């Protein structure tokens, strides 16, 4: 007599394992099943690169159990105190940010100090953008990021959850 059951048994060495094969289904997130939250990260006096990796992981949703690479399943991230982010060594003078105006001979180069003086949140934005995918999904993910130079932000209506970024560094 044959019994059709989702329970499979196999042995490794002298141990017998019984596994429910129906319980192991790969869950793939889509736009309807994604649970997006608002989180606040305070980056005061923290290294730029370390902070940017944590922010990019929150934007991608890599800390969630239903992470799916091709879906925007990350959170909306609010970054405060971005003006006080730190760089080590001589990077304030040596790190260059290159852009192009689109005209012939229109290449413009700024170092980190000049970019920080021009707009103090741009360092964090550029670092996070460089860690996201270079496609339409990356552009959509970047729109979920809000960066503020000071401690105040204008997303209080979303009831954001404050995250201690030091737990992820």
What are the extents of the domains in the chain?
31-167
Contact (Cβ atoms closer than 8 angstroms) between residue 132 and residue 60: yes
CATH number of this structure's domain 31-167: 3.90.1180.10
pLDDT of residue 26: 77
Crossing angle of helices 48-60/122-129, nearest 10°? Answer: 60
pLDDT of residue 13: 74
Q: What is the pLDDT along the chain (169 residues), one digit of tens a residue?
A: 555 566 667 777 777 777 666 666 777 889 899 999 999 999 999 999 999 999 999 999 999 988 999 999 999 999 999 999 999 999 999 999 999 999 999 999 999 999 999 999 999 999 999 999 999 999 999 999 999 999 999 999 999 999 999 999 8
pLDDT of residue 28: 86
pLDDT of residue 86: 97
DSSP letter (8 states) at residue 160: P
pLDDT of residue 47: 97
Decide the pairing of beta strands 96-100 and 107-111.
antiparallel
Cα–Cα distance measured from residue 116 to residue 70, given in angstroms and rounded to the nearest whole number:
33
Give the max Cα distance, the chain.
82
Contact (Cβ atoms closer than 8 angstroms) between residue 74 and residue 141: yes
Q: At CB < 8 A and 24+ separation, what contacts does 58-62 make?
A: 58/163, 59/128, 59/132, 59/141, 59/142, 59/144, 59/145, 60/132, 60/141, 61/29, 61/34
- pTM for this prediction: 0.84
């Amino acid at each position: 007599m044959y019994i059709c059951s989702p329970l499979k048994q196999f042995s490794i060495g002298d141990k017998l394992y019984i596994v429910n094969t129906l319980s192991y289904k790969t869950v793939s997130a889509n736009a309807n099943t994604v649970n997006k939250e608002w989180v606040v990260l305070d980056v005061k006096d923290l290294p730029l690169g370390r902070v940017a990796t944590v922010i990019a992981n929150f934007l991608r949703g890599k800390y969630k159990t239903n992470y799916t690479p091709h879906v925007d399943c990350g959170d909306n991230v609010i970054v405060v105190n971005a003006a006080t982010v730190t760089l080590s060594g001589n990077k304030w003078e040596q790190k260059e940010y290159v852009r192009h105006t689109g005209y012939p001979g229109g290449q413009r180069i700024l170092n980190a100090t000049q970019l920080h003086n021009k707009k103090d949140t741009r360092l964090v934005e550029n670092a996070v953008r460089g860690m996201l995918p270079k496609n339409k999904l990356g552009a959509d993910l970047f729109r979920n990021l809000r960066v503020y130079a000071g401690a105040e932000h204008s997303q209080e209506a979303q009831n954001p959850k404050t995250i201690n970024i030091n737990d992820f560094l």
